[in-house]
Structure 1
Amino acid sequence: MTRLMQPLGATSPSGAWMRLLWLAVPLGVLCAALAARLAPSGAAVSVGLFVAVTALAAALMRRRYAHPRLGLCNTVTLTRAALACALVAPLAGGGFATTHSAIDARWLSVIIATVALAMDGLDGWLARRSGLSSAFGARFDMEVDAALGLILSLLVVASGTVGIWVLALGTMRYAYVLAGLFLPWLNAPLPERFRRKALCVVQIGALIVLLIPGLGALGATLIATSATLALAGSFGADILWLARRRRT
Protein backbone atom coordinates (compact mmCIF):
# COMPACT_ATOMS: atom_id res chain seq x y z
CA MET A 1 0.00 0.00 0.00
CA THR A 2 1.05 3.61 -0.50
CA ARG A 3 3.14 4.99 2.34
CA LEU A 4 3.10 8.49 3.74
CA MET A 5 4.53 10.80 1.14
CA GLN A 6 7.48 12.99 2.08
CA PRO A 7 9.55 15.43 -0.02
CA LEU A 8 12.33 13.77 -1.96
CA GLY A 9 15.50 13.56 0.07
CA ALA A 10 19.08 14.12 -0.88
CA THR A 11 21.64 11.49 -1.68
CA SER A 12 21.45 8.56 0.73
CA PRO A 13 23.91 9.61 3.46
CA SER A 14 24.99 6.21 4.68
CA GLY A 15 24.84 3.91 1.69
CA ALA A 16 21.42 2.40 2.31
CA TRP A 17 21.33 1.73 -1.41
CA MET A 18 24.41 -0.49 -1.02
CA ARG A 19 22.59 -2.53 1.61
CA LEU A 20 19.74 -2.90 -0.88
CA LEU A 21 22.18 -4.40 -3.38
CA TRP A 22 23.51 -6.87 -0.78
CA LEU A 23 19.97 -7.83 0.14
CA ALA A 24 19.26 -8.54 -3.51
CA VAL A 25 21.71 -11.46 -3.49
CA PRO A 26 19.66 -13.88 -1.31
CA LEU A 27 16.43 -12.55 -2.79
CA GLY A 28 17.80 -13.20 -6.27
CA VAL A 29 18.46 -16.80 -5.26
CA LEU A 30 14.88 -17.05 -4.00
CA CYS A 31 13.58 -15.58 -7.26
CA ALA A 32 15.65 -18.04 -9.30
CA ALA A 33 14.50 -21.05 -7.25
CA LEU A 34 10.82 -20.15 -7.55
CA ALA A 35 11.10 -19.27 -11.23
CA ALA A 36 12.85 -22.57 -12.00
CA ARG A 37 10.07 -24.41 -10.20
CA LEU A 38 7.43 -22.56 -12.21
CA ALA A 39 9.08 -22.79 -15.63
CA PRO A 40 12.78 -23.66 -15.97
CA SER A 41 13.00 -22.21 -19.47
CA GLY A 42 11.90 -18.80 -18.23
CA ALA A 43 13.92 -18.64 -15.02
CA ALA A 44 16.76 -16.63 -16.56
CA VAL A 45 14.33 -13.91 -17.66
CA SER A 46 12.89 -13.70 -14.14
CA VAL A 47 16.32 -13.32 -12.59
CA GLY A 48 17.41 -10.79 -15.20
CA LEU A 49 14.28 -8.75 -14.56
CA PHE A 50 14.90 -8.81 -10.82
CA VAL A 51 18.49 -7.64 -11.34
CA ALA A 52 17.21 -4.75 -13.47
CA VAL A 53 14.57 -3.81 -10.89
CA THR A 54 17.13 -3.89 -8.08
CA ALA A 55 19.63 -1.79 -10.03
CA LEU A 56 16.98 0.83 -10.80
CA ALA A 57 15.73 0.86 -7.20
CA ALA A 58 19.28 1.25 -5.86
CA ALA A 59 20.00 4.12 -8.27
CA LEU A 60 16.83 5.95 -7.24
CA MET A 61 17.47 5.24 -3.56
CA ARG A 62 20.96 6.69 -3.84
CA ARG A 63 19.51 9.95 -5.20
CA ARG A 64 16.20 10.25 -3.36
CA TYR A 65 16.39 8.41 -0.04
CA ALA A 66 17.79 10.48 2.84
CA HIS A 67 17.29 8.05 5.73
CA PRO A 68 20.41 6.45 7.26
CA ARG A 69 18.92 2.92 7.36
CA LEU A 70 17.50 0.61 4.72
CA GLY A 71 14.86 -0.63 7.13
CA LEU A 72 12.56 -3.63 7.13
CA CYS A 73 10.06 -1.63 5.07
CA ASN A 74 12.29 -1.57 1.97
CA THR A 75 13.33 -5.16 2.65
CA VAL A 76 9.68 -6.22 2.44
CA THR A 77 9.12 -4.24 -0.76
CA LEU A 78 12.18 -5.74 -2.46
CA THR A 79 11.05 -9.20 -1.37
CA ARG A 80 7.67 -8.58 -2.99
CA ALA A 81 9.50 -7.46 -6.14
CA ALA A 82 11.45 -10.75 -6.17
CA LEU A 83 8.21 -12.73 -5.89
CA ALA A 84 6.63 -10.72 -8.71
CA CYS A 85 9.66 -11.30 -10.95
CA ALA A 86 9.53 -15.05 -10.27
CA LEU A 87 5.98 -15.08 -11.66
CA VAL A 88 7.31 -13.90 -15.03
CA ALA A 89 8.93 -17.31 -15.67
CA PRO A 90 5.82 -19.04 -17.09
CA LEU A 91 5.26 -16.07 -19.42
CA ALA A 92 8.87 -16.09 -20.61
CA GLY A 93 8.79 -19.89 -20.91
CA GLY A 94 5.79 -19.96 -23.23
CA GLY A 95 2.92 -20.25 -20.77
CA PHE A 96 1.68 -22.89 -18.37
CA ALA A 97 1.21 -25.47 -21.12
CA THR A 98 4.99 -25.78 -21.56
CA THR A 99 5.69 -26.55 -17.89
CA HIS A 100 6.07 -30.07 -16.50
CA SER A 101 2.78 -29.76 -14.66
CA ALA A 102 0.54 -26.86 -15.62
CA ILE A 103 -1.76 -27.42 -12.65
CA ASP A 104 1.12 -27.49 -10.15
CA ALA A 105 2.64 -24.37 -11.72
CA ARG A 106 -0.66 -22.52 -11.45
CA TRP A 107 -1.08 -23.49 -7.81
CA LEU A 108 2.48 -22.37 -7.04
CA SER A 109 1.76 -19.09 -8.83
CA VAL A 110 -1.32 -18.65 -6.64
CA ILE A 111 0.74 -19.27 -3.50
CA ILE A 112 3.53 -16.87 -4.53
CA ALA A 113 1.07 -14.14 -5.47
CA THR A 114 -0.89 -14.64 -2.24
CA VAL A 115 2.27 -14.22 -0.17
CA ALA A 116 3.12 -11.05 -2.12
CA LEU A 117 -0.39 -9.71 -1.51
CA ALA A 118 -0.29 -10.63 2.18
CA MET A 119 2.92 -8.61 2.54
CA ASP A 120 1.31 -5.57 0.94
CA GLY A 121 0.67 -2.92 3.55
CA LEU A 122 3.32 -4.37 5.83
CA ASP A 123 6.05 -2.28 4.23
CA GLY A 124 4.07 0.95 4.71
CA TRP A 125 3.28 0.08 8.32
CA LEU A 126 6.93 -0.71 9.03
CA ALA A 127 8.02 2.56 7.38
CA ARG A 128 5.71 4.63 9.56
CA ARG A 129 6.57 2.70 12.71
CA SER A 130 10.32 3.06 12.21
CA GLY A 131 10.22 6.65 10.96
CA LEU A 132 11.51 5.68 7.52
CA SER A 133 8.59 6.96 5.43
CA SER A 134 9.80 8.44 2.16
CA ALA A 135 8.65 9.39 -1.32
CA PHE A 136 11.03 6.74 -2.66
CA GLY A 137 9.48 4.01 -0.51
CA ALA A 138 5.95 5.03 -1.46
CA ARG A 139 6.79 5.00 -5.17
CA PHE A 140 8.69 1.71 -4.94
CA ASP A 141 5.75 0.11 -3.18
CA MET A 142 3.26 1.47 -5.73
CA GLU A 143 5.30 0.30 -8.72
CA VAL A 144 5.62 -3.22 -7.29
CA ASP A 145 1.83 -3.31 -6.82
CA ALA A 146 1.27 -2.18 -10.40
CA ALA A 147 3.79 -4.66 -11.81
CA LEU A 148 2.27 -7.53 -9.83
CA GLY A 149 -1.17 -6.69 -11.22
CA LEU A 150 0.15 -6.60 -14.78
CA ILE A 151 2.02 -9.89 -14.43
CA LEU A 152 -0.97 -11.64 -12.87
CA SER A 153 -3.30 -10.42 -15.61
CA LEU A 154 -0.91 -11.82 -18.22
CA LEU A 155 -0.80 -15.13 -16.34
CA VAL A 156 -4.62 -15.27 -16.27
CA VAL A 157 -4.68 -14.80 -20.04
CA ALA A 158 -1.99 -17.50 -20.42
CA SER A 159 -4.06 -19.87 -18.29
CA GLY A 160 -7.04 -19.48 -20.63
CA THR A 161 -9.44 -18.83 -17.77
CA VAL A 162 -10.57 -15.43 -19.11
CA GLY A 163 -10.10 -13.71 -22.45
CA ILE A 164 -7.52 -11.12 -23.28
CA TRP A 165 -9.87 -8.34 -22.14
CA VAL A 166 -8.84 -9.12 -18.53
CA LEU A 167 -5.60 -7.28 -19.30
CA ALA A 168 -7.58 -4.11 -18.63
CA LEU A 169 -7.46 -5.08 -14.95
CA GLY A 170 -3.67 -5.14 -15.01
CA THR A 171 -2.94 -2.22 -17.33
CA MET A 172 -5.36 0.45 -16.12
CA ARG A 173 -2.79 2.19 -13.98
CA TYR A 174 -0.28 2.27 -16.85
CA ALA A 175 -2.95 3.67 -19.18
CA TYR A 176 -3.58 6.41 -16.61
CA VAL A 177 0.13 7.26 -16.47
CA LEU A 178 0.31 7.31 -20.28
CA ALA A 179 -2.70 9.61 -20.46
CA GLY A 180 -0.91 11.96 -18.07
CA LEU A 181 1.77 12.51 -20.72
CA PHE A 182 -0.83 14.09 -23.00
CA LEU A 183 -3.08 15.58 -20.29
CA PRO A 184 -0.72 17.10 -17.70
CA TRP A 185 -3.58 17.99 -15.34
CA LEU A 186 -3.90 14.27 -14.58
CA ASN A 187 -0.52 14.46 -12.85
CA ALA A 188 -1.80 16.81 -10.14
CA PRO A 189 -1.63 15.37 -6.60
CA LEU A 190 -4.68 13.48 -5.36
CA PRO A 191 -5.98 13.44 -1.77
CA GLU A 192 -5.44 10.27 0.22
CA ARG A 193 -8.31 7.82 -0.19
CA PHE A 194 -8.71 4.45 1.50
CA ARG A 195 -10.73 3.43 -1.58
CA ARG A 196 -7.56 3.18 -3.69
CA LYS A 197 -5.81 0.95 -1.18
CA ALA A 198 -8.85 -1.31 -0.85
CA LEU A 199 -9.30 -1.63 -4.60
CA CYS A 200 -5.62 -2.48 -5.04
CA VAL A 201 -6.23 -5.47 -2.78
CA VAL A 202 -9.43 -6.31 -4.69
CA GLN A 203 -7.57 -6.12 -8.02
CA ILE A 204 -4.72 -8.41 -6.97
CA GLY A 205 -7.03 -10.72 -5.03
CA ALA A 206 -9.35 -11.15 -8.00
CA LEU A 207 -6.46 -11.96 -10.33
CA ILE A 208 -5.15 -14.53 -7.86
CA VAL A 209 -8.57 -16.21 -7.70
CA LEU A 210 -8.71 -16.26 -11.51
CA LEU A 211 -5.46 -18.26 -11.52
CA ILE A 212 -6.92 -21.06 -9.38
CA PRO A 213 -7.24 -24.23 -11.49
CA GLY A 214 -10.75 -25.51 -12.09
CA LEU A 215 -12.51 -22.16 -11.75
CA GLY A 216 -15.62 -22.19 -13.93
CA ALA A 217 -15.95 -19.87 -16.92
CA LEU A 218 -19.06 -18.11 -15.56
CA GLY A 219 -17.55 -17.52 -12.12
CA ALA A 220 -14.28 -16.32 -13.64
CA THR A 221 -16.09 -13.89 -15.93
CA LEU A 222 -18.15 -12.46 -13.07
CA ILE A 223 -15.09 -12.00 -10.85
CA ALA A 224 -13.03 -10.40 -13.61
CA THR A 225 -15.86 -8.12 -14.73
CA SER A 226 -16.71 -6.98 -11.21
CA ALA A 227 -13.09 -6.21 -10.33
CA THR A 228 -12.49 -4.40 -13.62
CA LEU A 229 -15.58 -2.23 -13.23
CA ALA A 230 -14.70 -1.42 -9.61
CA LEU A 231 -11.16 -0.39 -10.56
CA ALA A 232 -12.40 1.62 -13.53
CA GLY A 233 -14.87 3.39 -11.25
CA SER A 234 -12.05 4.33 -8.87
CA PHE A 235 -9.92 5.76 -11.66
CA GLY A 236 -12.98 7.52 -13.05
CA ALA A 237 -13.68 9.14 -9.68
CA ASP A 238 -10.10 10.42 -9.47
CA ILE A 239 -10.18 11.74 -13.03
CA LEU A 240 -13.46 13.52 -12.35
CA TRP A 241 -12.03 15.07 -9.16
CA LEU A 242 -8.97 16.32 -11.07
CA ALA A 243 -11.10 17.64 -13.91
CA ARG A 244 -13.28 19.63 -11.51
CA ARG A 245 -10.23 20.97 -9.68
CA ARG A 246 -8.72 22.02 -13.00
CA ARG A 247 -11.85 23.99 -13.94
CA THR A 248 -11.94 25.80 -10.61
Structure 2
Amino acid sequence: MTPTTPTTRVTPGRELAAAVAAQAGLLAVLRPGLAGWAAGLGYAAGAWIVLAAAFRARRALGPADHVTLVRAVLAGGVTALVAAHLAGEGGDGAALVALSAVALVLDGLDGRVARRTGTVSALGARFDMEVDAFLILVLSVRVAESAGAWVLAIGAMRYAFGAASLAVPWLRAALPPSLARKAVAALQGVALVVAAAGTVPHADVLVAAALGLLTWSFGRDVHWLFARRPRRRTHEPRRARVLDPVAR
Protein backbone atom coordinates (compact mmCIF):
# COMPACT_ATOMS: atom_id res chain seq x y z
CA MET A 1 0.00 0.00 0.00
CA THR A 2 1.44 3.33 -1.08
CA PRO A 3 1.62 5.83 1.76
CA THR A 4 -0.19 9.05 1.10
CA THR A 5 1.48 12.38 1.58
CA PRO A 6 -0.49 14.54 3.98
CA THR A 7 -1.69 17.80 2.47
CA THR A 8 -1.42 21.05 4.31
CA ARG A 9 -4.78 22.76 4.49
CA VAL A 10 -4.73 26.55 4.40
CA THR A 11 -7.12 27.69 7.10
CA PRO A 12 -8.71 31.14 7.38
CA GLY A 13 -6.48 31.79 10.39
CA ARG A 14 -3.35 31.32 8.30
CA GLU A 15 -4.72 33.44 5.47
CA LEU A 16 -5.64 36.24 7.84
CA ALA A 17 -2.22 36.05 9.48
CA ALA A 18 -0.65 36.34 6.01
CA ALA A 19 -2.82 39.43 5.40
CA VAL A 20 -1.52 41.00 8.63
CA ALA A 21 2.03 40.32 7.46
CA ALA A 22 1.19 41.88 4.08
CA GLN A 23 -0.20 44.89 5.92
CA ALA A 24 3.05 45.31 7.83
CA GLY A 25 4.99 45.00 4.57
CA LEU A 26 2.85 47.68 2.92
CA LEU A 27 3.43 50.01 5.86
CA ALA A 28 7.16 49.42 5.59
CA VAL A 29 7.01 50.52 1.95
CA LEU A 30 4.81 53.56 2.69
CA ARG A 31 6.84 54.69 5.74
CA PRO A 32 3.93 56.71 7.15
CA GLY A 33 5.63 57.86 10.35
CA LEU A 34 4.81 56.99 13.95
CA ALA A 35 1.13 57.96 13.79
CA GLY A 36 0.69 56.11 10.51
CA TRP A 37 2.32 52.96 11.85
CA ALA A 38 0.14 53.09 14.97
CA ALA A 39 -3.05 53.54 12.93
CA GLY A 40 -2.09 50.92 10.34
CA LEU A 41 -1.11 48.25 12.85
CA GLY A 42 -4.12 49.04 15.03
CA TYR A 43 -6.37 48.62 12.00
CA ALA A 44 -4.68 45.33 11.08
CA ALA A 45 -5.05 43.94 14.60
CA GLY A 46 -8.70 44.97 14.83
CA ALA A 47 -9.51 43.56 11.40
CA TRP A 48 -7.76 40.27 12.24
CA ILE A 49 -9.79 39.85 15.44
CA VAL A 50 -13.11 40.61 13.74
CA LEU A 51 -12.44 38.47 10.65
CA ALA A 52 -11.07 35.53 12.65
CA ALA A 53 -14.32 35.45 14.63
CA ALA A 54 -16.47 35.88 11.50
CA PHE A 55 -14.72 33.15 9.48
CA ARG A 56 -14.10 30.67 12.31
CA ALA A 57 -16.68 28.24 10.88
CA ARG A 58 -15.14 28.33 7.39
CA ARG A 59 -12.55 25.80 6.22
CA ALA A 60 -11.02 28.32 3.85
CA LEU A 61 -11.69 31.69 2.33
CA GLY A 62 -13.32 31.73 -1.08
CA PRO A 63 -11.80 33.29 -4.23
CA ALA A 64 -13.85 36.46 -3.83
CA ASP A 65 -12.90 36.68 -0.16
CA HIS A 66 -9.25 36.82 -1.21
CA VAL A 67 -9.98 39.80 -3.45
CA THR A 68 -11.79 41.55 -0.60
CA LEU A 69 -8.91 40.71 1.73
CA VAL A 70 -6.51 42.48 -0.66
CA ARG A 71 -8.83 45.49 -0.58
CA ALA A 72 -8.82 45.37 3.22
CA VAL A 73 -5.01 45.54 3.23
CA LEU A 74 -5.11 48.50 0.84
CA ALA A 75 -7.64 50.21 3.12
CA GLY A 76 -5.19 49.74 5.98
CA GLY A 77 -2.53 51.54 3.95
CA VAL A 78 -4.94 54.41 3.27
CA THR A 79 -5.74 54.57 6.99
CA ALA A 80 -2.04 54.88 7.83
CA LEU A 81 -1.49 57.65 5.28
CA VAL A 82 -4.51 59.63 6.50
CA ALA A 83 -3.33 59.32 10.11
CA ALA A 84 0.14 60.49 9.09
CA HIS A 85 -1.32 63.48 7.24
CA LEU A 86 -3.49 64.53 10.19
CA ALA A 87 -0.52 64.18 12.54
CA GLY A 88 1.60 66.42 10.33
CA GLU A 89 3.99 63.58 9.48
CA GLY A 90 3.52 63.79 5.74
CA GLY A 91 1.35 61.06 4.29
CA ASP A 92 2.10 60.64 0.59
CA GLY A 93 -0.94 62.00 -1.26
CA ALA A 94 -0.05 60.23 -4.50
CA ALA A 95 0.24 56.89 -2.70
CA LEU A 96 -3.10 57.49 -0.98
CA VAL A 97 -4.83 58.16 -4.28
CA ALA A 98 -3.18 55.12 -5.92
CA LEU A 99 -4.11 52.72 -3.11
CA SER A 100 -7.66 54.05 -2.95
CA ALA A 101 -8.11 53.83 -6.72
CA VAL A 102 -6.92 50.21 -6.83
CA ALA A 103 -9.23 49.33 -3.92
CA LEU A 104 -12.19 50.91 -5.72
CA VAL A 105 -11.41 49.08 -8.96
CA LEU A 106 -11.17 45.76 -7.12
CA ASP A 107 -14.55 46.51 -5.53
CA GLY A 108 -16.16 45.68 -8.85
CA LEU A 109 -14.22 42.42 -9.12
CA ASP A 110 -14.95 40.45 -5.97
CA GLY A 111 -18.69 40.22 -6.66
CA ARG A 112 -18.06 38.93 -10.19
CA VAL A 113 -15.57 36.38 -8.90
CA ALA A 114 -18.08 35.15 -6.32
CA ARG A 115 -20.81 34.73 -8.94
CA ARG A 116 -18.58 33.01 -11.51
CA THR A 117 -17.14 30.58 -8.97
CA GLY A 118 -20.50 29.89 -7.31
CA THR A 119 -19.18 31.06 -3.93
CA VAL A 120 -21.68 33.85 -3.22
CA SER A 121 -22.42 34.06 0.49
CA ALA A 122 -23.99 36.47 2.95
CA LEU A 123 -20.74 36.59 4.93
CA GLY A 124 -18.69 37.43 1.85
CA ALA A 125 -21.14 40.18 0.88
CA ARG A 126 -20.98 41.61 4.42
CA PHE A 127 -17.18 41.50 4.34
CA ASP A 128 -17.19 43.41 1.06
CA MET A 129 -19.66 45.98 2.36
CA GLU A 130 -17.75 46.66 5.57
CA VAL A 131 -14.45 47.17 3.73
CA ASP A 132 -16.23 49.64 1.41
CA ALA A 133 -17.78 51.50 4.34
CA PHE A 134 -14.51 51.79 6.24
CA LEU A 135 -12.55 52.98 3.20
CA ILE A 136 -15.19 55.65 2.51
CA LEU A 137 -15.07 56.72 6.17
CA VAL A 138 -11.28 57.13 6.11
CA LEU A 139 -11.35 59.02 2.80
CA SER A 140 -14.06 61.33 4.12
CA VAL A 141 -11.84 62.14 7.12
CA ARG A 142 -9.00 63.03 4.74
CA VAL A 143 -11.14 65.27 2.53
CA ALA A 144 -12.93 66.87 5.49
CA GLU A 145 -9.58 68.18 6.70
CA SER A 146 -9.50 70.56 3.74
CA ALA A 147 -13.11 70.83 2.53
CA GLY A 148 -14.94 71.01 5.86
CA ALA A 149 -16.49 68.79 8.51
CA TRP A 150 -19.66 68.34 6.44
CA VAL A 151 -17.81 65.76 4.30
CA LEU A 152 -17.77 63.43 7.33
CA ALA A 153 -21.47 62.85 6.72
CA ILE A 154 -20.53 60.65 3.75
CA GLY A 155 -18.46 58.28 5.86
CA ALA A 156 -20.76 58.41 8.88
CA MET A 157 -24.07 57.76 7.14
CA ARG A 158 -23.62 53.99 6.81
CA TYR A 159 -22.68 53.68 10.48
CA ALA A 160 -25.53 55.97 11.58
CA PHE A 161 -27.95 53.73 9.69
CA GLY A 162 -26.46 50.66 11.40
CA ALA A 163 -26.76 52.28 14.83
CA ALA A 164 -30.38 53.25 14.13
CA SER A 165 -31.19 49.68 13.09
CA LEU A 166 -30.19 48.47 16.56
CA ALA A 167 -33.05 50.51 18.03
CA VAL A 168 -35.52 50.17 15.15
CA PRO A 169 -35.96 46.49 14.14
CA TRP A 170 -37.69 47.14 10.82
CA LEU A 171 -34.54 48.88 9.54
CA ARG A 172 -32.80 45.49 9.66
CA ALA A 173 -35.03 43.97 6.97
CA ALA A 174 -33.42 42.94 3.69
CA LEU A 175 -33.51 45.48 0.89
CA PRO A 176 -34.09 44.47 -2.75
CA PRO A 177 -31.11 44.74 -5.13
CA SER A 178 -30.78 48.20 -6.64
CA LEU A 179 -28.52 49.35 -9.45
CA ALA A 180 -29.06 52.96 -8.37
CA ARG A 181 -27.88 52.16 -4.84
CA LYS A 182 -24.72 50.54 -6.17
CA ALA A 183 -24.02 53.45 -8.51
CA VAL A 184 -24.46 56.01 -5.74
CA ALA A 185 -22.18 54.01 -3.43
CA ALA A 186 -19.49 53.81 -6.12
CA LEU A 187 -19.75 57.55 -6.74
CA GLN A 188 -18.82 58.30 -3.11
CA GLY A 189 -15.42 56.66 -3.48
CA VAL A 190 -14.72 58.29 -6.83
CA ALA A 191 -15.67 61.76 -5.59
CA LEU A 192 -13.56 61.44 -2.43
CA VAL A 193 -10.51 60.16 -4.29
CA VAL A 194 -10.76 63.01 -6.82
CA ALA A 195 -11.03 65.51 -3.97
CA ALA A 196 -8.13 63.91 -2.08
CA ALA A 197 -5.94 64.13 -5.19
CA GLY A 198 -6.30 67.93 -5.18
CA THR A 199 -5.78 68.20 -8.94
CA VAL A 200 -9.38 68.91 -10.00
CA PRO A 201 -10.69 72.44 -9.34
CA HIS A 202 -13.91 72.74 -7.36
CA ALA A 203 -13.86 69.04 -6.44
CA ASP A 204 -15.87 69.93 -3.35
CA VAL A 205 -18.85 70.50 -5.65
CA LEU A 206 -18.56 66.90 -6.81
CA VAL A 207 -18.31 65.73 -3.20
CA ALA A 208 -21.39 67.77 -2.27
CA ALA A 209 -23.32 66.23 -5.17
CA ALA A 210 -22.22 62.77 -4.05
CA LEU A 211 -23.44 63.51 -0.52
CA GLY A 212 -26.78 64.70 -1.88
CA LEU A 213 -27.24 61.50 -3.87
CA LEU A 214 -26.20 59.40 -0.87
CA THR A 215 -28.78 61.14 1.30
CA TRP A 216 -31.42 60.49 -1.34
CA SER A 217 -30.41 56.81 -1.59
CA PHE A 218 -30.58 56.23 2.15
CA GLY A 219 -33.83 58.18 2.38
CA ARG A 220 -35.37 56.08 -0.36
CA ASP A 221 -34.34 52.84 1.37
CA VAL A 222 -35.64 54.00 4.74
CA HIS A 223 -38.96 54.96 3.14
CA TRP A 224 -39.18 51.53 1.47
CA LEU A 225 -38.49 49.75 4.76
CA PHE A 226 -40.92 51.97 6.67
CA ALA A 227 -43.73 51.27 4.21
CA ARG A 228 -43.23 47.52 4.66
CA ARG A 229 -42.60 47.43 8.40
CA PRO A 230 -44.56 44.81 10.36
CA ARG A 231 -47.83 46.16 11.74
CA ARG A 232 -48.87 45.39 15.28
CA ARG A 233 -52.09 43.47 15.48
CA THR A 234 -54.40 44.13 18.39
CA HIS A 235 -56.89 41.48 19.45
CA GLU A 236 -58.92 43.73 21.70
CA PRO A 237 -62.67 43.64 21.01
CA ARG A 238 -64.02 46.67 19.25
CA ARG A 239 -65.86 49.00 21.56
CA ALA A 240 -69.12 50.62 20.65
CA ARG A 241 -68.70 54.15 19.48
CA VAL A 242 -69.93 56.68 22.04
CA LEU A 243 -70.85 60.06 20.72
CA ASP A 244 -69.72 63.08 22.66
CA PRO A 245 -72.89 65.02 23.43
CA VAL A 246 -70.92 68.28 23.37
CA ALA A 247 -69.77 67.62 19.81
CA ARG A 248 -73.31 67.04 18.48
For residue 22 of structure 1, report the CA deviation from its aligned partner.
4.2
Runs of 4+ in 1 over 4 A off after TM superposition: none
Choose the corresponding residue for 2:219, options 216, 225, 236.
Answer: 236
Partner of 2:171: 186
For residue 221 of structure 1, report the CA deviation from its aligned partner.
2.5
CA distance in 1, matches of 2:82, 2:71: 18
Deviations 1:40-82 (A, max 9, x none): 541232023113202311221113x4xx542321111111111
CA distance in 2, matches of 1:28, 1:98: 19
Distance 1:35-1:88 versus aligned 2 partners, 3 A rule: farther
Look up the equivalent residue of 1:23 and give its one-letter code. Answer: A
CA distance in 2, matches of 1:116, 1:122: 10
Does the alignment pair 1:28 with 2:2?
Answer: no
Tell me, yes or no, if the aligned pair for 1:20 and 1:58 is still in contact at 8 Å.
no
Deviations 1:138-171 (A, max 9, x none): 100000000000000001123x1x1110011111
Partner of 1:75: 66
Partner of 2:244: none
CA distance in 1, matches of 2:42, 2:88: 23
Does the alignment pair 1:51 with 2:45?
Answer: yes
Partner of 2:108: 121
Partner of 1:4: none
Does the alignment pair 1:84 with 2:75?
Answer: yes
Find the structure with the greater CA-based Rg.
2
CA distance in 2, matches of 1:213, 1:148: 18
CA distance in 2, matches of 1:203, 1:127: 23
Of the two structures, which has the highest relative contact order with CA contacts closer than 8 Å and spacing of 6 or more? 1
Does the alignment pair 1:42 with 2:36?
Answer: yes
CA distance in 1, matches of 2:140, 2:110: 23
Does the alignment pair 1:156 with 2:112?
Answer: no
How do 1:160-175 residues align onto structure 2 when only pairs under 5 Å count?
160=146, 162-175=147-160
CA distance in 1, matches of 2:186, 2:169: 28
Tell me, yes or no, if the aligned pair for 1:34 and 1:86 is still in contact at 8 Å.
no
- Pairwise CA RMSD: 2.1
CA distance in 1, matches of 2:143, 2:191: 10
How do 1:199-238 residues align onto structure 2 when only pairs under 5 Å count?
199-216=184-201, 219-238=202-221
Q: Which runs of 5+ in 2 are unaligned?
A: 1-8, 232-248
CA distance in 2, matches of 1:176, 1:53: 21
Partner of 1:11: none
For residue 132 of structure 1, report the CA deviation from its aligned partner.
1.5
CA distance in 1, matches of 2:188, 2:198: 18
Q: Which runs of 5+ in 1 are unaligned?
A: 1-13
Q: TM-score scaled to structure 1, two decimals? A: 0.82
How many residues align structurally? 223
Distance 1:91-1:109 versus aligned 2 partners, 3 A rule: closer
Tell me, yes or no, if the aligned pair for 1:17 and 1:59 is still in contact at 8 Å.
no
Tell me, yes or no, if the aligned pair for 1:35 and 1:87 is still in contact at 8 Å.
no
CA distance in 2, matches of 1:31, 1:55: 19
Greater share of helix: 1
Look up the equivalent residue of 2:79 and give its one-letter code. Answer: V
CA distance in 1, matches of 2:113, 2:163: 31
CA distance in 2, matches of 1:224, 1:241: 26
CA distance in 2, matches of 1:234, 1:173: 11
Q: Percent identity among equivalent residues?
A: 39
Does the alignment pair 1:61 with 2:55?
Answer: yes
Look up the equivalent residue of 1:126 and give its one-letter code. Answer: V
Look up the equivalent residue of 2:64 and give its one-letter code. Answer: C
Distance 1:224-1:157 versus aligned 2 partners, 3 A rule: same
